[in-house]
């Protein structure tokens, strides 16, 4: 998956696609989000992986559970990998690839991002409702 597109602060954007400010990722480097309405909003999380940002649907490819039990708790204790709290699957932050656990070899569903004016947004070409439905 490629680095999010970055554009200038003057560009208009759809506030309904805003995930958070870049600065809101904080030291933990992760932030959960819910975007969209109805029974099946898109639930995901943004992670900082080195100098890059990635977002994934918050659904484990093993049994479909959300990865976190507690808010903003998505990582192994050393912060190096994404951890599914249900059965311990471990995922690479940059690729979403499952390195170990019951779904080894599968991947988290990526959510393409764009960065605009200091905000992290769901990329313009993502059909949020369709992505939420396929992930639900």
Binding residue for ligand FES, selected from 86, 95, 107, 109, defined by CB under 6 A: 86
Confirm or reject binding of residue 101 to ligand FES (CB under 6 A): yes
The residues, ordered by sequence, that sit 6+ positions from 3 with a Cβ below 8 Å of its Cβ are 52, 53
Q: Which range binds ligand FES by CB under 6 A, 18-26, 48-56, 59-67, 116-124?
A: 59-67
Alpha-carbon distances, residue 18 vs 13, 65, 74, 115, 120 (angstroms): 8, 24, 21, 10, 6
Q: Which range binds ligand FES by CB under 6 A, 9-17, 61-69, 106-114, 124-132?
A: 61-69
Least separation in angstroms between residue 63's CB and ligand FES is 4
Residue 105 to residue 71: CA distance in whole angstroms: 26
């Amino acid at each position: 998956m490629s680095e999010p597109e970055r554009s200038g602060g003057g560009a208009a954007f759809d506030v309904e696609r805003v995930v958070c400010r870049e600065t809101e990722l904080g030291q933990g480097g992760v932030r959960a989000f819910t975007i969209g309405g109805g029974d099946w909003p898109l639930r995901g999380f943004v992670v900082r992986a080195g100098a890059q940002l990635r977002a994934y649907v918050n659904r484990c490819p093993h049994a479909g559970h959300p990865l976190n039990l507690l808010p903003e708790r998505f990582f192994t204790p050393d912060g190096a990998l994404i951890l599914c709290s249900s059965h311990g699957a471990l995922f690479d932050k940059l690729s979403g690839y499952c390195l170990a656990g019951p779904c080894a070899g599968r991947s988290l569903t990526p959510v393409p991002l764009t960065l605009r004016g200091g905000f992290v947004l769901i990329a313009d070409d993502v059909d949020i409702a369709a992505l939420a439905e396929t992930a639900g």
